Structure 1
Amino acid sequence: MTDARRHSLIDDAQGIAYGATMAAFGIVILTHLGLVTGQTAGLAVLISYATGWNFGPVFFAINLPFYLLGYLRMGPGFTVKTFLAVGLLSALSLWLPGQVAFATLNPWLGAVLFGFVSGSALLALFRHGASLGGIGIVAVLLQDRLGWRAGWVQLAFDAVLFAVAFLVIEARLVLISFLGALVVNLVIAINHRRDRYVVA
C-alpha cells in the first residue's frame, strides 16, 4: 500500500519544473533591473555582471563542486533532484530573456516581485526534496561538523557578497537588492513549516 502523503514521481517532476521555471523568471527580473541577490545565485549574478558571461552557464558551473557534498549529506535522491533543478534553471535563464520583456518595471516593485517569485520557487523545490544547491549545503555541513549555525553561515556569506556588490554595481541598486533578498527570506521563513506541510 502506498503512502498517500508521499509525492509521486510526477508530483516531483512538476514541482521541480515549477520551481526552476519561477526561479529563472526571478533571475530575468533581477538581471533586467541590474540587481543582485544572495547565496550561490547571487554569486553567479555578480560574476555575470563583472565578466559579461551569461548567468546560466556560470550558475551551473559554480554548483558542480557542491553535488558531492549534497550526496554525502542529503543522499542520492536530493542530489539528483537538485542537479535537475539547477540544470533546468540554467537552461531557462538563457531562453527566457528572449521571451519576456518589460516596458516599465519600477526597481523597488521589481525587487519585491523577485522576492515573491523566487521565494515560491524555492518553496516548491524544498517541498519536493530539491534545492538550487550551493552555499546552503555547505552551511548545513558546517553546522553538523563544527556546530556553526547554518543560518549564520549563510548570512555571513551574503554579507560578504553584498559588500562585494558595492564594487560591481551602483550603491542604490545594492540597497534595492536588499529588499528583494529580504522578501525571499520572509517568504521562506513564513511558509516553510514542516509542522504545517507534512507531505514528504
Structure 2
Amino acid sequence: MTLKSPISIYDAQGLAFGILMASLGVTFLKAAALVTGQTAGAAVLLSYLLPLDFGVFFVLISLPFFWLSWVRRSASFTLRTITAVVGISVVSPLLGAFIRFETLPPFLAAILAGACSGVGLIALFRHGASAGGLGILALIVEERTGFRTGWFQMCFDAVIFALALLVLPLDGVLYSCIGAMVLNAIIGWNFRVAQAMPAQQVG
C-alpha cells in the first residue's frame, strides 16, 4: 500500500467541488426537514433527534469505514475520503448558517438535494475519494462484482427510510425517497468504477 504524493491541482479542485456540491445537497435536505440514505442519512436522522450537528455524526459513523477503506483500497483513497468527510462535515453547517429560503417546496428540495449530492459524489469518485460510509463499501462491491454503485446504495436506502418513518411524517419520507432515487440514478447512469478510478486506487 503506497501513499500517493502530493495531490495534484486537478484532484484538489475535484475534491473541493465534490465537497461543496455534497454539502449543498445536505443544506437542501436540512432546510426542508428531509433525509437521505447511507451514512449521511443516518447522520441527518440523528441530528434531528439529538442536540449535535450533522457533521459530528457524519464523522463518527464514517470512522469504521475508514478502516475498511485502508485495508481494502489504498492509503491515498482513504486519506482523500477522510478529507471529503471532514470537509462535508464542516461546510454543510456553514452553508446552512448563511443560506436562507423564503419558500422551498419539499419536492423541489428533494430533487435539488439528490442532484447536487449525486454530482458531488461523482466528482469525489472520479478524483480518488468517496463520501465515506457505505460509499466505500459500494465501490468495493462494484469492483469485485460489477454491481453498480448507485444501485447498491439504493438497496441500503430502504433501511434508512424505514427508520425515518419513526421520526418524520410520511410525506417527508416520501419526498426523501424521491431525492435518494435522483441521487442514486445520477450515479448509476453516469459513473462506472472501471472507467473512472485509477488502478493505483484499488487494492
TM-score by structure 2 length?
0.85
Aligned residue for 1:93? 92
How far apart, in 2, do the equivalents of 1:156 and 1:199 lie? 23
The amino acid of 1:92's aligned partner reads V
Report the alpha carbon displacement of residue 141 of structure 1 after superposing the two structures with TM.
5.6
Aligned residue for 1:30? 29
How far apart, in 2, do the equivalents of 1:85 and 1:36 lie? 20
How far apart, in 1, do the equivalents of 2:48 and 2:162 lie? 15
Percent identity of paired positions between Structure 1 and Structure 2: 46
Aligned residue for 2:131? 132
The amino acid of 1:50's aligned partner reads L
Show CA shifts across 1:14-65 (max 9, x none): 1111101111111010011000100110010011111132101110111111
Select the structure of larger CA radius of gyration.
Answer: 1
1:126 to 1:99, Cα distance in 2 relative to 1, 3 A: same
Which 5+ residue runs of structure 1 have no aligned equivalent?
A: 1-7
Where does 1:11-90 land on structure 2 (aligned, <5 Å)?
11-90=10-89
How far apart, in 1, do the equivalents of 2:197 and 2:37 lie? 28
Runs of 4+ in 1 over 4 A off after TM superposition: 139-145, 149-153, 197-200
**23-32 vs 132-141, which deviates more?**
132-141
How far apart, in 2, do the equivalents of 1:62 and 1:193 lie? 26
Show CA shifts across 1:167-192 (max 9, x none): 01111100010110010011111111
The amino acid of 2:187's aligned partner reads I
How far apart, in 1, do the equivalents of 2:123 and 2:163 lie? 30
Aligned residue for 1:4? none
Report the alpha carbon displacement of residue 137 of structure 1 after superposing the two structures with TM.
2.6
Where does 1:188-199 land on structure 2 (aligned, <5 Å)?
188-193=187-192
How far apart, in 2, do the equivalents of 1:144 and 1:18 lie? 24
How far apart, in 1, do the equivalents of 2:124 and 2:100 lie? 26
Report the alpha carbon displacement of residue 138 of structure 1 after superposing the two structures with TM.
3.5
Number of equivalenced pairs = 191
1:108 to 1:138, Cα distance in 2 relative to 1, 3 A: same
1:172 to 1:141, Cα distance in 2 relative to 1, 3 A: same
SS at 2:57 equivalent: helix
Show CA shifts across 1:116-160 (max 9, x none): 111110110010010011023335667899x8x686764443211
Aligned residue for 1:164? 163
SS at 1:168 equivalent: coil
1:140 to 1:26, Cα distance in 2 relative to 1, 3 A: closer
The amino acid of 1:77's aligned partner reads S
SS at 1:43 equivalent: helix
How far apart, in 1, do the equivalents of 2:197 and 2:158 lie? 34
Which 5+ residue runs of structure 2 have no aligned equivalent?
A: 1-6, 199-203
1:126 to 1:172, Cα distance in 2 relative to 1, 3 A: same
1:173 to 1:199, Cα distance in 2 relative to 1, 3 A: closer
How far apart, in 1, do the equivalents of 2:155 and 2:109 lie? 25
Aligned residue for 2:103? 104
